[in-house]
Amino acid sequence: MSDVIAQFDPTATTSGKFATSSLSTGIGKLVIWNDSAETLSLTFPNGDTDIAPAWVASIFELNGPARQVQWAQNMTVNATTPDLSQVWVIAYRDNEKIPGVFPIALTKQTKSGGGAVSSTNTLTLSNTGAPLNTNVAFASPSGDAGPAWSVDNAGNEVLGDAAHGGSLTIQGPGGLLQMLSTLGTPDVEVKAGNTIVTGATSGTATLYEVLRGSGLRVVTIYFNNFENNSGAAQLHALLSSFNSAVLVWASNVPNLQLTLGGFAQTLQVLTSLAVGGGTTTGATTLKSHSLAEVGPIDSVSYSASDASAHTGILVLIGI
């Protein structure tokens, strides 16, 4: 079993020592929780030396003999009234499992007990050279057994704990899309951009390619009072082509064609549903309130001479 072999305030004196006699052979490990602003120089029984950085929990190996470890103040971190100045030394036998990954940075604040907390602003937070999965930042509300937010140097971030469920709020236009777009996953790309076609008669058609992946692509087009009652069709190019089957869902949309290389593709428009399978009819023009399927496409063509204004949405889901 582990033993707390020493506890002291390193500011009360400039140096001291503690015994490792609980480890009968002097072989084992020490975890030193240096919850103070003092970085300590350490001299071990075999003559090895090391440091215990301020506000860090560090692990040290002992190779014998079972004698005393000497410590001395090395340097003091510039701090304003630290809320605690204590060092705990815990000894573990050589075959004991030590919980946690060390070193662990001990987050500090200037006051505790519910009083006002002052903070220091910094432009950067840097942590280099520490073992994998070392915590570099964490926060814990009063009364919690562990951190409710933490980040380690392997890029892992944890929101919430057993007492408080974590949540993430993203503000600002396009914030969620921009965040997802920077995740860097090789198979999915979320796009924040759009393209707009202004109706020849009135309104607009805004195309969003909201999701692009090797196994799924989603495009939506929002029509806002869109009307093309001119003598020519209006072409709206997709940001990237659909390469295979596309499912089409239309609400109150203008008459349109789905094209590939400038040619209208034949849609299979759903005309009825049945337990044994639905019925479709081939058509090159899609009209409002329709469900259909089509092959590869690269553009949407808004038909000419459509004398009605439309407000609705077209959804294209495919590969």
Instruction: State pLDDT tens for residues 200-223.
Output: 999 999 999 888 877 888 999 999
What was the pLDDT predicted at 191?
Answer: 56
What was the pLDDT predicted at 112?
Answer: 41
What was the pLDDT predicted at 263?
Answer: 97
Residues 109, 114, 118, 124, Cα dihedral to 10°: 50
Q: What is the DSSP code string of the chain?
A: --EEEEEE-TTSSSEEEEE-TTSTTSEEEEEEEEESSEEEEEE-TTS-EEEE-TTEEEEEEEES-S-EEEEEEEEE---SS-S--EEEEEEEETTPPPPS-SSEE----S--TTS-------S-----SPPTT-EEEEE--TT-SS-SEEEETTS-EEEB-SSSB------STTHHHHHHHTS--SSEE----EEEEE-SSEEEEEEEEEEEESS-EEEEEEEEEEEE-SSS-EEEEEEEEE-S-EEEEESS---EEEEETTEEPPEEEEEE--TT--EEEEESSB-SSEEEEE--EEEEEEPSSEEEEEEEEEEEEE-
> Could you give the domains of the chain?
3-105 (2.60.120), 194-318 (2.60.120)
What was the pLDDT predicted at 116?
Answer: 44
Rounded average pLDDT per 10-residue block, the chain, 319 residues: 88 92 84 91 92 91 88 81 81 84 73 46 66 79 78 85 76 58 54 82 94 86 97 94 95 98 97 95 97 97 96 96
- pTM score: 0.47
Q: Give the largest Cα separation in the chain, rounded.
A: 97
